[in-house]
Amino acid sequence: MASIAVANIALGWGLVVLIWLVQVIVYPGFSRIPRQGFHTYHRWYTLRIGAIVTPLMVGEVIAVAAWIWLRPHAWSAYLSAAAVVLVWGSTLVLQVPIHRRLQHGKDADLIRRLVATNWIRTVAWSAKAVVVTTAFH
């Protein structure tokens, strides 16, 4: 169980750091990129962030699933799983479609929507990290 705890805590806080950087620096920074270079920069960004965040998110699903498997009566495991489902849902339903539209060029309204909707993931991952940390403390 110790390795499951370490995995959940490490992935949880790693994703918190990542999402706060994205929320406070990266996404708002999209508005500062010149229109003529936006398409190229956005493509460069999405390829690189995807290579970082996708394995972390998949690892998080595995770690939470293992936690539920080993401790099926732990309410904190299910709370964490709910946060993961919320993050994945928000990512697939809100952020990915916005990024797809931004591939066609800079759009200030889409950037504002991306920043606003990304708070869902920021809050969910932050809450999950706290839950995981207190559950395994």
Whose CA is closest to 22, among 95, 129, 103? 95
Amino acid at 3: S
Element holding 55 (H helix, E strand): helix 35-70
Q: What is the pLDDT of residues 16-57, one digit of tens each?
A: 999 999 999 999 999 999 999 999 999 999 999 999 999 999
Q: What is the pLDDT of residues 46-78, one digit of tens each?
A: 999 999 999 999 999 999 999 999 999 999 999
Quick check: 59 and 4 in contact, CB under 8 A?
A: no
**Quick one: CA torsion of 116, 118, 124, 126, rounded to 10 degrees?**
-100
pTM for this predicted structure: 0.94
